[in-house]
Structure 1
Amino acid sequence: MAVPAVHSTDGQIEAGKQACIQDKYDKAQRSFASAIKTSKCTNPTCLKLLDHQTGALLKLKRFDESLNCAKSMIRHSRTDGRGYIRCGKLERLQGNYEAALKWYQHGLKNVPPKDPLHATLKAKIESIQAAIRQERYRTKLRDPLVSLPLEVAQLIASYLDFQTLVMVMRVSRSWKAFVASLPITSDTLDFSGARQQVQVKAYRAALRRLKTTPRKVVVFNFSRPASTSVAQSLGVWLKAGSLDHLEVFDLHCMHQLNSTTKLFTLVGQVDTNSISPNLKSVVFGPEARLELHGMIALLTQCTKLVHARFGSVAADDPPLPPLSTIFPHLEEELHTLPPTIDPFTVTTKNGYLPCNTPLVKLPDDFSALSKILDNMPVEKLDGKPGLLANFALGPLIDDGQLPDLTPYLDRLIRTNGRLDLPLVTALFRDYSFLASSYLLEPCWESWSKDRNQGYGLGRQRLPKCIAGPLVETAKILDIPPFMSYAASYALYNYYLEDPSLDTSVYSNLRLVRAFEHGLNPKSSEAGFILTHIHMVQSTGPLIEGAVSLLKSIDGHPNPTAEDLSVTTSAFQTMLTAMTRIEASMETMWTNSLPKDYISYRTFIFGITNQSMFPNGVIYEGENDDKPMYFRGESGANDSIIPLLDHILEVPMPKNPLTDILIDFRKYRPRAHREFLGYMMSKAGELGVRKYCMANTDLAQLYLKLLDHVRSFRWRHWLFAREYIIKRSSHPTATGGSPIVTWLPNQLMAVMDAMDQVYKDSGLESMVQEEEKGMAFVKGVMDKMREQRDKLDKEVKKYCEERGV
């Protein structure tokens, strides 16, 4: 539309202004441009026209033209601040902060100080400089190690695999130093993530990163030369006894090795009689074929083995030796056992409880220790306040009131020259109670005085008078030197009020040691521990049924109807035992109130992955006075569900959460670990799952038992939710696992296993066809799926609330 002729400059300006009021900016800028072109206006008038045209073009977002007009304003008058301000604004709107700053600085130099726009330019400079600083801060690459707490960085690193951490070392010198200090890079060779064949050069580079002989080695995708090098090194490490974790995923590139067992006889360095006794975890992939006698050698020679998985085992060798040869006391009467035997010897009579009632009173040589422990709880046995009530335990120990018995310990724990293992276990229990009380007393004080301020820091050093005996007894028992579920906190921490009654009577149970009010059997602390003991006292039949199941399958690979009745009976024995165990577990709600747990929980935290111990704890006189890290007491160390996981062959996902589950195993008594390791290997050899899937009746029993695992873990999740998650923001459980996500990892795994069994066994199609007797199976699966949906929602909710 043509602009009507306007005869005066003022008229053209007024017409342009009216067009702007009507939001007709294109018409306005043309009016201003025409006035500039046709009139011979004075300098101030021309500046006004250019200013108006710049504003109209800006409204049209024609930034380049608008900037040219603003520059023309400067050319018309270098002492007028409007042009500089217009240029700076246009550059800033386009994100060109540095260019905007230059325009404002030019203006400040040329506009007279007395001009009001001089002060405006100063303000514009300050504003744009602040914006530049903010932009630089926002876009600048910053090393998180500068501000990230060390314990948080260590926690993050614990979730990263070996290959990722190696790549992280390339980020910066600080990251290289940090990652190099982590155990996973200083004592680990893990090539499980290798996408290309590992060459000798890469293998040697990894060796150079090690600070000592490796503790963990994972062999995967090695080239032929690299395979030769690693096989030779493995021989040396195995002989030296430094290796405790070995995984071999493929031997297809190791043509010089005819079988996996030659890994241990290579170049005559090691024979099968000297396989590293310190091996705790061994995994052979499907292509790493292992002959059965080699597997037997591993299981028998490696006495510390807690985890073994074999992907391919030659079937023409003899089977695993019978249980009776490895566990001669398994079906023996308790009164016939030697008095100095390992108290956690597994039998079908006592199950996982000690085979004799735990030792309560220590010999007189340890009277000083006993006196301190008797006076230690917040509430003593006589009801009076103890040392922890007044935060007086630490000063007492620091004042030298406990003698160091380490030099005399070996003599004191022997009976007729033989180690008295019940006494050793009782000493471990008592010293571990004292150690946890000493280390966590400041956290208890902090929490008691202000429950909103958290736990603060614990004591970072454990005195030699406690550390020495604790480490020595732990070495004998072959468990970490820190409070554990079985050997100290729960299963070796009770006595019978009436010796004529047994552990099946809950009201007959009493605690030997406690932190808060646990010596009162009606307290929540006592209820928490005693409920666990009462659950475990029903494990004898569970073990009996598990052993009977494997014997039945082993003896009848092609079962008759009579044979199947024996297998069915074994399942029924386990199902009955689990019903009793879960009934005891359900009493936790009344025996130990949810509102009380957070209080006494303070004393059962560990010293790894905990904010109270960012750098672990120094055990004086041990480990060259370098910090040590141990997990805290946890019911996850119990052996009930692991037995069912093993015999039912429940697969677990390969992730950091499962790694924690595996790490927990070393805190169990050695006798428990050995029994569970055998049961896991034997179940794998027999193929229990496959055997049961071939028969509809057995498949149903298998699913029922699997459902007990689901029910047990679901209740454990409810305990965690009601006792901890809803009452504390602390991110980790006592054992150092993530409080929200760890339990669901195992619970989801068993639910997935139920789904798979339901499909593979044919039960799903039978339910769909509404066959007789399938209502129970349908109910089990419906309940499982309902809980899985609920669990998924709850975990997401708590993760969002906690920023996980």
Structure 2
Amino acid sequence: MLSLKANDIKLEDYDISFKTGFLLENPLETLPEYFDIWNQLSNSLPELIDAGLVRERVLQMPELDANRLTSHRELRLAHIQLSFIGAGYIWQDRGAVIPELIPKCLAVPWYNVSKRLGIYPIISYPTLYLANYKLIDQSSNITTIGKLPGGEHYEWFVRVNNGIEIAFIKCLKPILDILHNVENREIGLIVENLQIISDCMLELKSLLSRIHEQLSAVEFYNVLRPFLTGWGGESSPMPDGLIYEGIENNKPLKVMGGSGAQSAIFQILDAVLGIKHSADKQKYLLEIRKYILPKHRQFIFDIESLPYQVKTLVCDCGDEELKKEYNKCVESIKLWRSYHIQIITKYIVIPSKKVTNKNTSLSSMGTGGTSPMPFLKDLRQDTTDAILS
């Protein structure tokens, strides 16, 4: 079997573009008339949650045939609608009362849509961000398609993260150029592209800092966060997972909630720059990849499988300017990871210490279902260790 070459990697083969990056271009806002009940429930979800009526309305819902969804965009919108409705069904009471199962009328189409997309039936990163936006004016201002409690605070949360995705687009060509130029040992061109990525990382960090402008820790932790939480594992109030009625012989499924770790961005940067993680952390990162869309996931794997790596070239060629720019690029990722730890501390760790709720397991975990700080600090240390002396 011929080994993959950098020239074989073309963004269009991975559903990635220089226009929208990993975001779905022109996502649908409404499903066909047959699926009107999903349209209606998802559009009124915050009000139904506030009134405590989500479960009642879901139980009245007919089981629709998801096979009547015929396009990728329809599937992506259906996944938003069903995942948001599912989150509302489970977390309507913010964990005070948790249903034993997701009813068949919701579970079967939700599972079907998820399987066709190659992701899990849960609000995950591709659903919360990558297809959950629409343009509201010619200035590229966006709002969300799916609705959750939190109003403008929730909207801001999604907009900031999608702003980061959009800003990362300017890294895509430099990444491809680095992969190509490593094969040809074009040192000067690699230096230029590393500089672009370093500058872009500082911009991403600046964009992340804007989260404070319209989202308080109290609003995120108490209002929005419960609906982004998964189920299953020792840290969950549902340690055995949750039954999706009519699916997998009613065996409970364990799934992670949506988190920034499910973005492809930083696994791509780790792959490009050769930032390595220990076996246990790499195992967890591979598990997280299952929540990344399959073609985006394949993009990471293909970068990792290339026979030529920039870090190897930096170590072997002895060019001091190249090493300097490589280290600067790795340092920019370290700075991002340090700032991300500050964000998690403000929005999850500190609020969790103030919680007296009986669901302490739900209170102390990140939306992905794990205690985030040890993992994030380990990733930062691995990034520090990748800096060459």
| Shorter-chain TM-score above 0.5 | yes
For 1:732 and 1:675, locate their aligned partners in 2 and report how far apart those are by CA, in whole Å: 30
2:179–2:309 contact (8 Å) kept in structure 1? no
Q: Which has the larger radius of gyration?
A: 1
Partner of 2:357: none
Partner of 1:492: 131
Matched, 1:441 2:79: no
Residue 579 of structure 1 aligns to a residue whose secondary structure is helix
Q: Deviations over 1:670-716 (max 9, x none)?
A: 1210111111222xx21321212321111111111101111111111
Partner of 1:707: 331
Partner of 2:193: 570
For 1:671 and 1:550, locate their aligned partners in 2 and report how far apart those are by CA, in whole Å: 18
Q: Unpaired runs of 5+ in structure 2? A: 354-362
Listed as ranges, the matches of 1:436-585 within 5 Å are 436-442=87-93, 444=94, 455-486=95-126, 488-498=127-137, 500-502=138-140, 508-518=141-151, 523-556=152-185, 563-585=186-208
Matched, 1:662 2:289: no
Listed as ranges, the matches of 1:751-766 within 5 Å are 751-754=384-387, 757=388, 759=389
Pick from 721, 740, 747: which aligns with 2:373?
740
Output the amino acid matched with 1:371.
Q
Output the amino acid matched with 1:405.
L
Matched, 1:373 2:42: yes
2:87–2:123 contact (8 Å) kept in structure 1? yes
Output the amino acid matched with 1:645.
D
Output the amino acid matched with 2:98.
G
Listed as ranges, the matches of 1:398-417 within 5 Å are 398=59, 400=60, 402-406=61-65, 409-410=66-67, 412-414=68-70
Number of paired residues?
A: 376
1:456–1:612 contact (8 Å) kept in structure 2? no
For 1:649 and 1:591, locate their aligned partners in 2 and report how far apart those are by CA, in whole Å: 36
Listed as ranges, the matches of 1:353-392 within 5 Å are 353-354=23-24, 356-377=25-46, 386-392=47-53
Residue 612 of structure 1 aligns to a residue whose secondary structure is coil
Partner of 2:359: none
RMSD between aligned residues: 1.8
- How many angstroms does 1:611 deviate by? 3.2
Q: Give identity over the alignment, percent.
A: 22
Output the amino acid matched with 2:313.
Y
Partner of 1:432: 83
For 1:592 and 1:658, locate their aligned partners in 2 and report how far apart those are by CA, in whole Å: 32
Runs of 4+ residues deviating >3 angstroms: 321-324
Pick from 677, 700, 716: which aligns with 2:340?
716
Matched, 1:679 2:303: yes
- How many angstroms does 1:740 deviate by? 3.2
For 1:322 and 1:648, locate their aligned partners in 2 and report how far apart those are by CA, in whole Å: 15
For 2:236 and 2:116, locate their aligned partners in 1 and report how far apart those are by CA, in whole Å: 30
Partner of 2:254: 629
For 2:309 and 2:173, locate their aligned partners in 1 and report how far apart those are by CA, in whole Å: 19
- How many angstroms does 1:524 deviate by? 2.1
Between the two structures, name the one with larger relative contact order (CA 8 Å, sep ≥ 6). 2
- How many angstroms does 1:577 deviate by? 2.4
Q: Deviations over 1:342-361 (max 9, x none)?
A: xx71123322222x122111
Output the amino acid matched with 1:671.
K
For 2:329 and 2:214, locate their aligned partners in 1 and report how far apart those are by CA, in whole Å: 26
Pick from 749, 760, 776: which aligns with 2:382?
749
1:387–1:393 contact (8 Å) kept in structure 2? yes
TM-score by length of 1: 0.45
Listed as ranges, the matches of 1:104-123 within 5 Å are none
For 2:21 and 2:373, locate their aligned partners in 1 and report how far apart those are by CA, in whole Å: 31
- How many angstroms does 1:654 deviate by? 2.2
Partner of 2:270: 645
2:6–2:179 contact (8 Å) kept in structure 1? no
Residue 21 of structure 2 aligns to a residue whose secondary structure is coil
Q: Deviations over 1:381-440 (max 9, x none)?
A: xxxxx1111211112222x1x21113xx22x222xxxxx111111111111111111111
Q: Deviations over 1:9-34 (max 9, x none)?
A: xxxxxxxxxxxxxxxxxxxxxxxxxx
Partner of 1:268: none
Listed as ranges, the matches of 1:769-784 within 5 Å are none
Partner of 1:13: none
Residue 28 of structure 2 aligns to a residue whose secondary structure is coil
Q: Deviations over 1:607-658 (max 9, x none)?
A: 1224321321110110001111101111110111111111111111223x44
Residue 143 of structure 2 aligns to a residue whose secondary structure is strand
2:7–2:180 contact (8 Å) kept in structure 1? no
